[in-house]
Amino acid sequence: MNAADRSTGNGGARNDAPQVVPPAGGRRMVQIGTPRTHASVRRKGGRVSWRTVPAFAAGVLATLAAAVLVLCRGPARADAPATDRIVRWWAAAWLRAAGARVTVHGREHVRADTTYVVVSNHQSNLDPMVHLRALPLSLRILAMRELFRIWLLGRALRAIGMIEVDRASPDLGQIGQAAARCLAAGHSLLVYPEGGTTPDEVIGEFKDGAFVIAVTSQVPVLPVAIDGTCRIWPPGRTAIHGGQVRIVVGSPLPTSGLAHHDIPALREQARDVICSARRALDTTTS
Query: From CA 101, how far away is CA 12, in angstroms rounded?
Result: 18
What order do you get walking across the sheet with 221-227 strand by strand? Answer: 19-24, 27-32, 100-105, 243-249, 221-227, 117-120, 188-191, 139-144, 163-165
DSSP string, 204-219: -PPPSHHHHHHHHHT-
Query: From CA 207, how far away is CA 213, in angstroms rounded?
Result: 12
Beta-strand relationship, 19-24 and 27-32:
antiparallel
Give pLDDT tens digits along the chain (286 positions): 443 333 334 444 444 444 434 444 444 445 545 444 333 333 443 456 788 999 999 999 999 999 999 998 877 778 889 999 999 999 999 999 999 999 999 999 999 899 999 999 999 999 999 999 999 999 999 888 888 988 888 899 999 999 998 877 778 888 999 999 999 999 999 999 998 888 777 899 999 999 999 999 999 999 999 999 999 999 888 899 999 999 999 999 999 999 999 999 999 999 999 999 988 887 776 5
Of 116, 136, 135, 137, whose CA–CA distance to 127 is shortest?
135
In the DSSP assignment, the letter for residue 253 is B
